[in-house]
Amino acid sequence: MNLAPRWLRASFWLALLTMLIAISKPPVAPLLLRAMVVIALTAAAVAGLTGALRDVEPVSGSGRRADPVEPNAVPRELAMMTEELRQIGRRGDIPPGVIRNLRNSLQHRLWYRHGLAVTSTAHSDAIRALLSPNGWLVAA
């Protein structure tokens, strides 16, 4: 079994082919030999870096992207809630659609961030500890 990586084997065969062309066509030999030296130095540098960085563990959380958000989940709901709240003015009752969207968002966050489900009676004390009284009324 050959343990050499594919790119290293390809570099070897390319260098061998370059040497054969340089021997058969002497006028282009200096150019081909310079190209071969550049390829060999590049391959050696990549092999050295690969060997040096093989056992390095990545830092957890550093350079990671945040967990993906469902596409259009939050912006569409926020736009709908904003429009509904604008329509009722300052003194009207909060529309049921706004409360439904708030409840869904709150339940989603409780589940994914804290592992708490509003439908479970065992989690109700932990949820009440996390939320304000008004938040508990919306979530329940």
Residue 95 main-chain phi, psi, to 5 deg = -65, 150
Alpha-carbon dihedral angle through residues 130, 134, 136, 139, given to the nearest 10 degrees: -120
CA atoms of 28 and 15, how far apart (whole Å): 15
pLDDT tens string 7-28: 778 878 887 888 888 888 888 8
Name the band, by pLDDT with cuts 50, 70 and 90, for residue 1. very low
Single-letter residue type at 126:
A
Question: Given this model, what pLDDT does residue 60 score?
Answer: 60
Q: Which of 3-17, 60-74, 102-116 has the lowest mean pLDDT?
A: 60-74
